[in-house]
Structure 1
Amino acid sequence: MTAATISLRRWGFVHKWSSLICTLFMLLLCVTGLPLIFHDEIDDLLHDQVKPAEVPPGTPQANLDSLLANALASAPGKVPHFLVWDRDDPNAMVVSVGPSITSDPSKNTLVRMDLHTGAYLDAPDVTGRFTYIMLKLHTDMFAGLPGKLFLGLMGILFCVAIISGIVVYAPSMRKLSFGTYRARRTRIVRWLDVHNLAGILLVAWTLVVGFTGVINTWADLVLKLWQFGQLSEMTAQYSGRSVPAKLTPVNAAVAVASQAVPGMTPSFVAFPGTIFSSKSHYAVFLHGNTPLTSRLLKPALIDAETGKLTDTRDMPWYVSALFISQPLHFGDYGGMPLKIIWAVLDVLTIIILGTGVYLWLRRRKAGVTVERSIASASSVENAALTSP
């Protein structure tokens, strides 16, 4: 047995077991990810929500302090955590409020406000929505951080399976033309041809989606790293201060941040004491105005007592990598044509995973009989059977 044959068998072993371990979870992610590609369209179809008033382009925004007061009037006993400019609806703003400034923001109430009139729109409970359930299954299987890290591990195995599949593909196809589909062969040979062809055609896309998915599972850890790194450096000299009894107007804080970072647009405001800021600062996060820079955020810290800028910096590379990976993973930065392409590629990936499971089950059921049938069809097909 040659060294090349031994090496190929080792790669085949890696491909088989990395695929088998992660396949069922990858099927879950592909199935739940498909409706998430069209989550905006699904929500619009299934759920009614109050629309903001139509206004001419260039209409000035409402005073943020008045808008905030109206939002809090609709949620008595709650305190504001974040003001968020709605990316999907430029005429709306979302105010995230909780029972206290230290409460879990993931359980906050989301109040939608008209950005130009400052009027209350609604406060939808999204936790019962179909798209929310799909999102939770897709991101952490309702298991929180452990679920995210587990899915991240499955994503790493998926990337290993793709790379090892590339290695075993070329030798297994050296006697066959690219894209060969042997329609007159046995069923398992036909399924093997479908599995191999779809796998090699989608290798770039599956690697991109798999790798960006792994990065997204690290979002909580990236946030903690940023908090204890850059944010701590920016607020070190204010570490002994508490949340001010009276805050400077949020509208003025946003104006100071916008002036300090020209050419960028406010994306959201974190109030003092929340996870994205210190106890004594507003953190105003701004984004650029190009397709790429619109996904990148830059924080500006505004002293909540004096209203003065204290620091602004570009985000570290690892945070920027996370921001870029999120829209790339779901394909939601190129409009409906890109969403359709992403959906088609997702369905093809489901086919790859499904045929892999089928081939492995047939091998388990028939043992060497299947291997011999493939070997009789082509001397290289037995090596290709190492794929699940």
Structure 2
Amino acid sequence: MQASALRRWGWVHKWSSLVCTLFILLLCLTGLPLIFSHEIDHLTGAEIEAPPMPEGTPRVSVDQVAAEAVRAYPELVPLYFFAEEDAPDLWYVKLDTRVDTDESQSLLIMSDARTAEVVGVPNFDEGFMSVMYRLHVDLYAGLPGKLFLGAMGLLLMVAIVSGVVLYAPFMRKLGFAEVRRERAPRTRWLDLHNLLGIVTLVWALAVGFTGVINTWADLIFKGWQADQVRALQAGDTRVLLGADAGEAPAADGSVQTAVERVLVAAPGMAVAMIAYPGTLRATPEHVAVILSGDTPLTSRLTQALLVDPDSGEVLEASARPWYVTALQLSEPLHFGDYGGLPLKMLWALLDVLTIVVLGSGLYLWLKRGATEART
């Protein structure tokens, strides 16, 4: 590669790195405890558990759960029900003042799926883990904060790619993983920076890219909702279960019956989320039932079906777009939430190594400035 091209790539690497380094360092530091969020909540007692009851105790309808939640919080209405894989006897229920809010002031509670009683309110907005989460996700700035962090993630991608371009010419006279320990401290740190940078290359690209996708989640779901509404208005739908299907319970306007009809239309799937009409993930007239599979991968690739609670007709308004699939896969991959504790430990190790890469890069720039000032 010509010297002029190397200088240009060096300029790109330097300034893309400098602009994003402090923010990416913050994301790595806050992301480290978030990798073990479930384990930390369990150890600290912050995890809410269902009261002990005889095994096989049947569940009550989601309508009863919703009614009990509204009875406890009469000024609010239900937006979503979330199922937790590790807590099959509990529902997460999200409430807000109306269904068409931006959900920034919503309340999340936990209800017993067998009795409909409210068993607790997760302290997601309090304590150390809450601070780590908000700093990691949006810097306490909502959607603008998410998009800003997404821009920093894109700069990180540029810094990584430009670093790879510079790596080969730099290492031409050195063996792989060689650190010149006999040289000055800045040279040793430069060799270590290059070594750890190439070792963590694939991980940093994967986590950085999935992080960028996650910052667009709100916009992605709004776009998907708009696509679904347009498909419904245009009649571009696939009817999975007709209104008069005899194999399913007759529609009666209840959300529970709507969910049961969806499960008949999509056998072998499990309910991951229920979205009430008018919310971000549904349409104004339909309940959206988000289904998941039963394997580590398919449990993340959800399928959204729409059901009219009055007629009982189950529709697939539009197939899951590629960008929604990318989001659904990126969320757990970003935190190493696919392979249990061993993968989380690996994610944490690579996170620490990336912190060293970022810190050493900042050190090299500062030392370079000091050297230039002396000359």
Normalising by structure 1, report the TM-score.
0.87
Structure 2 Cα separation of the partners of residues 235 and 255 of structure 1: 25
Structure 1 Cα separation of the partners of residues 67 and 284 of structure 2: 21
Give the partner amino acid of 1:337: P
C-alpha displacement of 1:184: 1.5
> Once the two structures are superposed, what CA deviation does each residue of 1:116-169 show, in whole Å capped at 9, x if it has no partner?
333321123421132222111111111122211111111111111111111111
Structure 1 Cα separation of the partners of residues 302 and 229 of structure 2: 14
Q: Percent identity?
A: 48
Structure 1 Cα separation of the partners of residues 234 and 147 of structure 2: 30
Structure 1 Cα separation of the partners of residues 98 and 321 of structure 2: 30
CA contact (8 A) 1:111 1:124 kept: yes
Determine the structure 1 residue equivalent to 2:341: 336
Determine the structure 1 residue equivalent to 2:299: 294
- State which drifts further: 101-110 or 184-193: 101-110
Give the partner amino acid of 2:290: F
CA contact (8 A) 1:298 1:313 kept: no
Matches within 5 A, 1:183-202: 183-202=181-200
Structure 1 Cα separation of the partners of residues 184 and 122 of structure 2: 54
The reply on whether 1:357 has 2:362 as its aligned counterpart is yes
Determine the structure 2 residue equivalent to 1:167: 165
Residue 50 to residue 345, structure 1, CA distance change in 2 (3 Å): closer
Determine the structure 2 residue equivalent to 1:325: 330
The reply on whether 1:43 has 2:38 as its aligned counterpart is no
Determine the structure 1 residue equivalent to 2:30: 32
The reply on whether 1:272 has 2:280 as its aligned counterpart is no
C-alpha displacement of 1:11: 1.2
Determine the structure 1 residue equivalent to 2:266: 261
CA contact (8 A) 2:18 2:362 kept: yes
Determine the structure 1 residue equivalent to 2:247: none
Determine the structure 2 residue equivalent to 1:213: 211
C-alpha displacement of 1:233: 1.2
CA contact (8 A) 1:53 1:91 kept: no
Determine the structure 2 residue equivalent to 1:385: none
Structure 2 Cα separation of the partners of residues 120 and 344 of structure 1: 39
Give the partner amino acid of 1:361: L
3-state secondary structure, aligned to 1:283: strand
CA contact (8 A) 2:46 2:123 kept: no
Give the partner amino acid of 1:172: F
3-state secondary structure, aligned to 1:76: coil
Structure 2 Cα separation of the partners of residues 247 and 277 of structure 1: 19
Structure 2 Cα separation of the partners of residues 53 and 103 of structure 1: 32
- State which drifts further: 165-174 or 44-53: 44-53
Determine the structure 1 residue equivalent to 2:240: none
Give the partner amino acid of 2:294: N
Give the partner amino acid of 1:201: V
Structure 2 Cα separation of the partners of residues 158 and 87 of structure 1: 33
Residue 162 to residue 49, structure 1, CA distance change in 2 (3 Å): closer
CA contact (8 A) 1:49 1:122 kept: no
3-state secondary structure, aligned to 1:299: strand
Structure 2 Cα separation of the partners of residues 369 and 125 of structure 1: 53
RMSD in angstroms over aligned alpha carbons? 2.2
- State which drifts further: 69-78 or 351-360: 69-78
Structure 1 Cα separation of the partners of residues 373 and 181 of structure 2: 22
Aligned partner of 1:19 among 17, 20, 23? 17
C-alpha displacement of 1:301: 1.1
3-state secondary structure, aligned to 1:184: coil
> Once the two structures are superposed, what CA deviation does each residue of 1:197-236 show, in whole Å capped at 9, x if it has no partner?
0001111111111111111111122112112223431355
Aligned partner of 1:283 among 282, 288, 303? 288
C-alpha displacement of 1:325: 0.7
3-state secondary structure, aligned to 1:43: helix
Structure 2 Cα separation of the partners of residues 234 and 93 of structure 1: 29
Matches within 5 A, 1:1-388: 4-54=2-52, 60-234=58-232, 248-311=253-316, 313-367=318-372
Give the partner amino acid of 2:74: P
- State which drifts further: 183-192 or 70-79: 70-79
Structure 2 Cα separation of the partners of residues 353 and 49 of structure 1: 34
C-alpha displacement of 1:257: 0.6
Give the partner amino acid of 1:228: A
Residue 117 to residue 196, structure 1, CA distance change in 2 (3 Å): same
Structure 1 Cα separation of the partners of residues 252 and 72 of structure 2: 21
CA contact (8 A) 1:298 1:312 kept: no
Give the partner amino acid of 1:92: L
Structure 2 Cα separation of the partners of residues 235 and 106 of structure 1: 29
CA contact (8 A) 1:288 1:297 kept: yes
Structure 2 Cα separation of the partners of residues 231 and 46 of structure 1: 43
3-state secondary structure, aligned to 2:173: coil
> Once the two structures are superposed, what CA deviation does each residue of 1:289-319 show, in whole Å capped at 9, x if it has no partner?
1111111121111113223324454311110
